Structure 1
Amino acid sequence: MPPWICRACCQSLIPRSLIGRSTATRRALSTNSRFFHVSEEVQQAVAERRPIVALESTIYTHGLPYPDNLALASRLESLVRINGGVPATIGILEGVARVGMGTEELIRLVSSSGARKVSRRDLGFACGMTGIDGKGLNGGTTVSGTMILAHKAGIRIFATGGLGGVHRGAEQTMDVSADLTELGRTPVAVISSGCKSFLDIPKTLEYLETQGVAVATFADGRENDVDFPAFWSRDSGVRSPAVVRDEVEAARVIYAHVSLGLQSGLHFANPIPEQYSIPLTQMETTIAQALREAETAGATGAASTPYVLAKIKDLTGSKSVEANKALVEANVIRGTRVAVALQKLEIAGSEVANRPDRPESQVAGPGANYKSTGVSLKVSAPLSELPTKPEHVTPSTTTSKGAASSTVNSASTVFVAGSLNVDLSCDFTPQSSSSSHSPELHTSNPATIMQSLGGVAHNIARAAHLMGANVRLCSAVGDDLSGKAALEALTASGMSSAGIKVMPADSGSRTSQYVAINDTNKGLVLAMADVSILEDTKSDSAISTSLEHFWLPQLRQARPSHLVLDANWPPDHLSRWLRAGASTASHITFEPVSNPKSTSLFHAPKTHPLAVFPTPSLHLATPNASELAAMHRAAREADLFDRQDWWAVIDALGIPDSGARVQLSLATNSALVDQGVPQQSLQLLPFIPAICCKLGAQGLLLTQLLPAGDERLSSAAYAPFILSRCGNGTEGTLGVGGVYMRLFPAVEEVGGREVVSVNGVGDTLAGALVAGLALGGKGARVEEFVDVAQRAAVLTLKSAESVSPGLGTLRMLV
């Protein structure tokens, strides 16, 4: 099996509302003003306490020309994601202060002319005034402006290039950057390369001390005394007030600072990478000349810094530009690692703060002091008695029986039916003195335990939702603590819970759970799964009753354009879903889940066998090569390849009696032909007329049965991918036109160090593909969305999440 096509699980944390926590870890989020907008991705990350890094925008609007500034913005956001964080680029777009900007929003901001430079004093003007075109103003936020908006959104860490400071000669000009006063009153940790060396660094540090700002410099491998950096130079000749050894130590300082309730900010200076550092003596000579020319030109006040920077660039050539890029990238990486370390401290702190021996965690009632997941979940009533949040549950509410009402939003375009799990990821974390990389059997092992929401259907639905589709997830949870956690997490992510059935407590149904034990490299050592909630096929079982009276009525009422089924349904239930989907004329996609479960499709009841083209039971499947082989084997063992209707379609495909090895090798490659992948796809086409076989680093093989009269059969652009055309004259009766087969190469070669997690990559691809088809409307073709689906999969491959929160940046491509 290709390494990145695996069982899905989501690494998102269960929402904070379910996790015992101290006041030190509370984060505020306010989006009640029409002048302030926080992106969905950032809102979710704040709610789930994931590491977030704020990024300013003046570096783009006032630092580089378009499109170089857009390339830098994309690069810095990618660095945050690669290192395990969520980027939140902050700026003013058309009069709205935005925290977390999508690709389209960034393009509009960085390509606009006349964008303002926005600090604290300018926020009201930038959001309240309009330009000559009647639209709101655009602006890049400075350090101070970014700090305010980041804090308002609940973000603790902000990484940037350089910090403003006290200008030389400030005793006469009073020219002191607003960055310094903002650090004195806004509790955000700023990581930068210190002050630009044309500023007065000793006076800047003195001013920060007066403001009560904690200042430290990363040792970066150095011992003894360490200088506060001077932006382009690692040393300034001025000793740093404090030194931190690494990101973990910086995170401890931030955690203690916030725990004490201090309302001032912190500044961590990160020296420029050594290979890009410019000697201080060389820079001092250049700066002296730039300052003289600025004075001669009358560049004072706000005009001083841009003038001096431009002059330094002229005097140093490309050297200072390269240094600028290197230091801001280093700061973003360092800031993300600090944010990740801080997240771990906050999680550990909330667990300690809510141990059962603490008085505040003694909760009467069912579920008190639940500890088996490694975090304390506190609930004082059965799930069936706890109301959901009406503002999140669209369009239904939860009844006293624990089941959502059957009111359905007719605008739902994609239904996804299958598994919803609560997952536990236990990462082995040995003591520093240990050389072991794997946990020891038959004893307790130290670990970092993360609880998350997962399941194949959930991850597909989440991916489609982030891509912009209107999605409803149809699944079941038990009337237990894990079920409560799952519902809270789902609604916190902005997805509807109207399709989630809460099974009665007396049914014996338990919320699906998956426990993974990983080694120090996060490789799977052992996994345990309890996913039986969907598997009871007795006619009077709770799941069978729910299928008939809860999910299928919603499907028939909503008549979604697309239905996705994962293979966690047993054959009888899967068959009932397929028949219901046919009655609503929905486009049906099948996700095989695993080798054993993929075969359920071919074990349908004899009373309702799989139908073949031109009215097949389903339209698209997304297996990997191993699952495809299992499906092919199951179909053969079930004698489906002996059916006359199957033979009729196969004959009409126009494949020569002598075989098509040469054609298949040209369409794909000899290795895949030797493996049997294209041959298996062809033989399954009568039952599944479009098969997207996920091949990992080799890309994706799309095999489709085209109907008679399809314009692709006569298109010059499609000609290289038409494997065969109907040649037996049955076009008019069977409607078979030919076969389209295309091997799409991987969109990006992802190196080992870039791979953060392989979980959910295949599910992300399936969800993005279906979202594209749904949003593309009638006539949308699978091949049009393979590229964006692969790009979505790559984002997840580089993310700690099973579905990358960054999928929203791809919406414009569908």
Structure 2
Amino acid sequence: MSSISRLKYSAEIVDALATRKPIVALESTILTHGLPTPLNYTTATRLEAVIREQGAVPAHIAVIDGCPRVGLSDSQLSHLSLHSGNPLKISRRDIAPAAALHRTGGTTVAGTITLAAHAGIKHFATGGIGGVHRNAQSTWDVSADLIELSRSPTHVICAGAKSILDTPLTLEYLETHGVTVASVGEAAQPNYNFPAFYSPNSGHHVQYSLSPLQAAQVGIASQGLQSGALFCAPIPPQYAEQGSRIQIAVERAVQESQHANNNILGKDITPWLLNRIAQLTDNNSIHSNIALVENNARIGAQIAVHYHRLLEDKEKDDRVGEKMYPVGGSSGLGALSGLSDAPSTPQTQANVRARAIAETEAAMIAKSGVKVGAKVNANAQKDIPHTHTPSHTSAPADIVIIGAAAIDVTAQYDSKSEPHSTSPGRVTVSAGGVGRNIAEAAGRVLRGAAGGKSAILIAPVGGSNTNTSTADLLANSLRSSAAALHMRTDGFVDPPHNTLTPVVNLLLDNEGELREGVASFDALDQMPFSEVEKVLEKHSPHIIALDGNVSAGVVRHVLSYARARAIPTLYEPTSVAKSVRVLEAWEMWEEADSQLQSQPHSQPLLTHVTPNTHELRAMTQSTSFARVRESSAYWEALNALRLYQPFRDALERCLPRPFTQDGIAQMAVMLLPLTKHVVVKCGAKGVLLVSHVREDELGEVGIDGALLSTSKKDARVVHRVDTTSNADSNTHADAQYVLVQHLPPHTPDRLVNTTGAGDSFVGALLAALAHHQPLTKAIHLAQDAASLTLGSKDSVSARLHYLGDDLHL
């Protein structure tokens, strides 16, 4: 997989691309090479604030541990600013080696243009660009910035070329290679001077003087040209006077760099010169540098906002039928339309991703077959047309999910209702069900990852093709909506006799609060294991998941089936009321499995269980669990872990207080005789992972090597089980561990809806496990998925496919 295709987007940038907000890219060499610590970090955060103030979204770009990233978190900015690990200075030529060698570095202007273009980001604000160096006639030293500008449709907002360069030759190069160069500033004050970084006037002129709005208009008109534009903003007037004094220092530094004994070459020249200029000016050059970068960020954001408004207006006029134009590739040049982006170019692919999410809703609903204006997860259907997986395929599935697929019918009053009367309101129909949502989430992540892996849902969905009954209508609606989302439907089984496809009917008051509801799940309660087994036999899954809507009997048979074939399993409790079904299954299994008494703790019933804190409490305080704890098998398994006072003290000492004070960690440990891993979803508190593994399984969890130690700083407890009293446990491979790890929350950029975040978490977790990711890394991906859904009004965010790239890192 190429380094470019492994672009990792922050949640904020995913949202901005999908909702088509204006984005301004920012380079990161200012963090790694341009400014001293901590000024580099404070400047980076200030630039982001300036861009947000203008109504745009900032996107710092860098390469971290070999992964090209678009949009950086505060902790990532802080990490880069420390200059730790000898960060690289990454231009286009360095992207592939940095990715292959898992290196970290700041992207130069050229490197940032390259990655921004592939991400579909049109605007990039920086301090100044590189150019033709002095004495280039003998050194051939021409910055890659110029070459990248000539072949990428990116608009760069800067303060001209750095004053250490040969300005006339730089302008000549840009003209020869078709790069538009213009000054940009207030419309009332035209200015044709080409700035020279610290100075507002280099003594050379440009042909165009533009306002931010006019610069955006130039951007719209340039669509289809595969070359960029350079919009030059002079340094703010209050810094112009000292610019002339700084220029004297520039000339001296250049002379020193050319001294016979000064062996400074290539990419080392610019950092050396900037550092020397700062020394010669008592750091006044640094303050001027920061001022002009902030000014460029402000103007760049203004241009980006104007550009997106103009683009929306233009597309309203240009749109014909259902035809979609990529953001950077519509026929804006008329007679030059032959120069428009080819469908295979990276920039067009990124734009199609963003546009597809925003514009395919109508087409997807039309395909769904749902009538009378029904809404079947309309926004969730904004999928990516060119990455779909057929809804019917004979290929074995990598993930099998057994659970509920239901029609959700929601009615809401417009105003306060009168009893015994029909009232005005709204009725929506959508596809729902925990199992269905998990399957959708897993499928979206898998499709984003490519590689041909798929997820299948086994659920009772009835109806013939006659389309004459209620059963047919419900079933066809579910099948059609699944097909529209490219979900597999070959796992749907006929409901038992005299039962319907599951339906949930909710009644909301005028403020959106639930008044009452009816759930018809007879089909799931009565679904026999024989129907499930018929589908399972057609597949060789990496993992089997069940939701709590499945009957305890089917849960028991599926877990026995999986255990006999060494297939990992996952149980999603679904709700407080249904969480105990897996405990009821354990009771049935204990009675039926004669092997359990001989080796009670060698093979637990489950591999993973994923309760939230409410479900965890309900499980451990239920009468079913009380009966489980009465069995000798349970206590033999728990006692074998040797979880004595030192372990309990370590929990109190190392975990955040709520996890021990509220008993979350203790309750999760109590489930270890039943399952290998307990993944507790704790909402805003993050995730608590409790695992019992052999030493040779530590890599599967992702807690091994240097991480295999108790640490308060990392909120981790590592307990090596003392097996010396067991005669058959003397080998190195038989060593066992109980691991407790708190994983901090991934805070969403916005909170729109809490429904479906847990299902998205589980679906993404399954996708990561199917790609053999360590469990801790899989949980991080699942947290990203939950954050995206929290920021969406749909039960599963259409943006989960962006997470697929992480499965290849």
Q: TM-score range by the shorter chain?
A: 0.5 to 0.7
Look up the match of 2:455. 473
Verify: 1:793 aligned to 2:783, yes or no: yes
**1:404 counterpart = 2:388:** no
Residue 279 of structure 1 aligns to a residue whose secondary structure is helix
Matched, 1:286 2:251: no
Q: For residues 529 and 688 of structure 1, do their structure 2 counterparts lie closer, same or farther at Cα, with a shift above 3 Å needed?
A: farther
Distance in 2 (CA, whole Å) between partners of 1:324 and 1:724 is: 58
Whole-Å Cα distance in 1 between the matches of residues 806 and 358 of structure 2? 38
Residue 627 (structure 1) aligned with residue 594 (structure 2): no
| Paired residue type of 2:211 | V
Please report how far the alpha carbon of residue 758 of structure 1 lies from its aligned counterpart in structure 2 after TM superposition: 7.6
**SS at structure 1 position matched to 2:523:** coil
Cα distance in 2, alignment partners of residues 251 and 534 from structure 1: 59
Asked if the contact 2:629/2:635 (under 8 Å) is kept, the reply is yes
* Residues in 2 aligned to 1:218 and 1:454: alpha-carbon distance in whole angstroms: 53
CA contact (8 A) 1:56 1:141 kept: no
Counterpart amino acid of 2:579? Answer: S
Whole-angstrom CA distance in 1 between matches of 2:305 and 2:501: 36
Aligned partners of 1:527, 1:548: CA distance in 2, in Å?
37
Residues in 2 aligned to 1:538 and 1:256: alpha-carbon distance in whole angstroms: 58
Alpha-carbon distance in 2 for matches of 1:332, 1:182 = 20
Aligned to 2:280: 315
- 2:122 partner letter: R
Relative to structure 1, the CA distance from residue 716 to residue 475 in structure 2 (aligned partners, 3 Å threshold; closer, same or farther) is closer
**Counterparts of 2:647 and 2:28, CA distance in 1:** 59
Deviations 1:388-443 (A, max 9, x none): 9999678xxx5xxx6321x337xx5x65666799999xxxxxxxxxxxxxxxx988
- Which of residues 108, 121, 129 is equivalent to 1:163? 129
> Residue 793 and residue 200 in structure 1: after superposition, are their counterparts in 2 closer, same or farther (change >3 A)?
same
Q: How far does residue 285 in structure 1 lie from its aligned partner after superposition?
A: 1.1
What is the 5 A alignment of 1:268-417? 279-291=239-251, 294=254, 309=274, 311-316=276-281, 320=285, 375-377=361-363, 403-405=392-394, 407-408=395-396, 412=398
Q: What residue number does 1:553 align with?
A: 537
Structure 2 match to 1:455: 437
SS in 1 for 2:667: helix
Structure 1 pair 499–771 and aligned structure 2 pair: CA distance change class (3 A): same
Q: CA deviation at 1:233?
A: 6.0
- Quick one: structure 1 residues 679 and 150, their matched pair in 2 at CA, closer, same or farther if it must change by over 3 Å? closer
- The 3 A distance-change label for structure 1 pair 197 and 677 is same
User: Conserved in 2, the CA contact under 8 Å of 1:667 and 1:743?
Assistant: no
In 1, Cα distance between equivalents of 2:507 and 2:318: 24
Q: SS at 1:38's partner residue?
A: helix
Shift of 1:473: 1.9
Residue aligning to 1:190:
156
Q: Secondary structure at the match of 2:579?
A: helix
User: Which residue type is aligned with residue 393 of structure 2?
Assistant: A
- Judging changes above 3 Å, is the alpha-carbon distance between structure 1 residues 305 and 359 closer, same or farther for their aligned structure 2 residues? closer
Determine the C-alpha separation between the residues in 2 that align with 1:255 and 1:624: 49
Q: CA RMSD in A?
A: 7.6
- Identify which of 671, 676, 679 aligns with 1:684: 671
List aligned pairs for 1:532-543, cutoff 5 A: 536-537=523-524
Instruction: Verify the 8 A CA contact 2:708 2:718 in the aligned structure 1.
Output: no
8 Å CA contact 1:51–1:336 kept in 2: the answer is no
Letter in 2 for 1:284: S
Tell me the CA shift for residue 351 of structure 1: 7.8
SS in 2 for 1:403: coil
- Shift in CA distance, 456/50, structure 1 to aligned 2, threshold 3 Å: farther
Change (3 A) 1:591 1:457: farther
Q: Following TM superposition, by how much is the alpha carbon of 1:376 offset from its aligned partner in structure 2, in angstroms?
A: 1.9
Give how far 1:628 is off: 0.7
Q: Distance in 1 between matches of 2:516 and 2:49?
A: 34
Distance 1:464 1:707, change over 3 A: same
TM score, norm. by length of structure 1? 0.55
Pairwise mapping of residues 649-668 of structure 1 onto structure 2 (< 5 A)?
649=637, 665=652
Give the superposition deviation at 1:703. 4.0
**Which residue number in structure 1 is paired with residue 210 of structure 2?**
242
Q: Which stretch shifts more, 566-575 or 235-244?
A: 235-244
TM-superposed CA distance for 1:616, in Å, is: 3.0
What is the letter of the counterpart of residue 687 of structure 1? L
**Distance in 1, Cα, partners of 2:298 & 2:756:** 25
Q: Secondary structure at the match of 1:598?
A: coil
Answer whether contact 2:694 2:737 (CA < 8 A) is retained: no
The one-letter code matched in structure 2 to 1:190 is: V
Deviations 1:364-396 (CA, angstroms, capped at 9, x unpaired): xxxxxxx99993216887899xxx9999678xx
Shift of 1:626: 1.8
Contact 1:641–1:647 (8 Å) recurs in 2: yes
Distance 1:644 1:488 in 2: 51
Instruction: Spell out, residue by residue over 1:592-635, the C-alpha distance to the aligned partner (whole angstroms, 9 max, x if none).
Output: 34445534434549865797743432122232322211222445
1:669 to 1:582, Cα distance in 2 relative to 1, 3 A:
same
Q: Is the 8 A contact 2:26 2:58 kept in 1?
A: no
The 3 A distance-change label for structure 1 pair 212 and 703 is closer
> Which residue in 1 is equivalent to 2:331?
none
Q: Give 1:513-552 correspondences, 5 Å limit.
A: 536-537=523-524, 547-550=532-535, 552=536
Checking the alignment, whether the CA contact within 8 Å between 1:757 and 1:798 is kept in structure 2 is no
- Aligned-partner residue type, residue 39 of structure 1: R
Does the Cα contact within 8 Å between 1:159 and 1:332 map onto a contact in 2?
Answer: yes
Question: Using a 3 Å threshold, how does the CA distance of structure 1 residues 320 and 508 change in structure 2: closer, same or farther?
Answer: farther
1:474-623 mapped onto 2 (5 Å cutoff)? 474-475=456-457, 501=491, 536-537=523-524, 547-550=532-535, 552-555=536-539, 558=540, 560=542, 562-567=543-548, 569=550, 571=552, 573-602=554-583, 604=585, 613-614=600-601, 615-623=603-611
1:769–1:278 distance in 2 versus 1, CA, 3 Å: farther
* Cα distance in 2 for residues equivalent to 1:512 and 1:373: 29
Write the distance in 1 (CA, Å) between the matches of 2:633 and 2:294: 61
Greater relative contact order structure (CA < 8 Å, 6+ sep): 1
Equivalent residues in 2 for 1:172-187, closer than 5 Å = 187=153
For residues 514 and 194 of structure 1, what CA distance do their matches in structure 2 show?
Answer: 61
Alpha-carbon spacing, 1:191–1:297, altered in 2? closer, same or farther (3 Å): closer
Q: State the distance in 1 between where 2:313 and 2:155 align.
A: 20
Task: Say whether the 8 Å CA contact 1:58–1:117 is kept in structure 2.
Answer: no
3-state SS of paired residue (1:241):
strand
Gaps of 5+ in 1: 1-30, 362-370, 425-440, 445-452, 491-496, 518-523, 778-783
Distance 1:602 1:62, change over 3 A: closer
Aligned-partner Cα distance in 2 for 1:654–1:307 = 60
Say if 1:196 and 1:709 are closer, same or farther in 2 by CA, change over 3 A: closer
Q: Residues 628 and 739 from structure 1, CA distance in 2 versus in 1: closer, same or farther, beyond 3 angstroms?
A: farther
Go from structure 1 to structure 2 and tell me whether the alpha carbon gap of 1:253 and 1:676 turns closer, same or farther (over 3 Å shift). Answer: same
Contact 2:457–2:488 (Cα < 8 Å) also in 1: no
Q: How far apart in 2 are the matches of 1:390 and 1:695?
A: 35
- CA-to-aligned-CA distance 1:482-538 (integer Å, 9 cap, x gap): 867766766xxxxxx668647899x98699999999xxxxxx977999999998327
- 8 Å CA contact 2:27–2:61 kept in 1: the answer is no
1:290 is displaced (CA, Å) by 1.8
Q: Which string of whole-angstrom CA distances, capped at 9 and with x for unpartnered residues, describes residues 122-151 of structure 1?
A: x8xx999x9xxxx9xx99987568657865
2:633 & 2:135 partners in 1: Cα distance? 90
Give TM-score scaled by structure 2 length: 0.55
**2 CA distance for matches of 1:685 and 1:337?**
56
Counterpart-to-counterpart distance in 1, 2:554 and 2:50: 43
The number of residue pairs the alignment matches comes to 665
- In the other structure, the counterpart of 2:467 is none
Q: How far apart are residue 772 of structure 1 and its match? A: 7.9
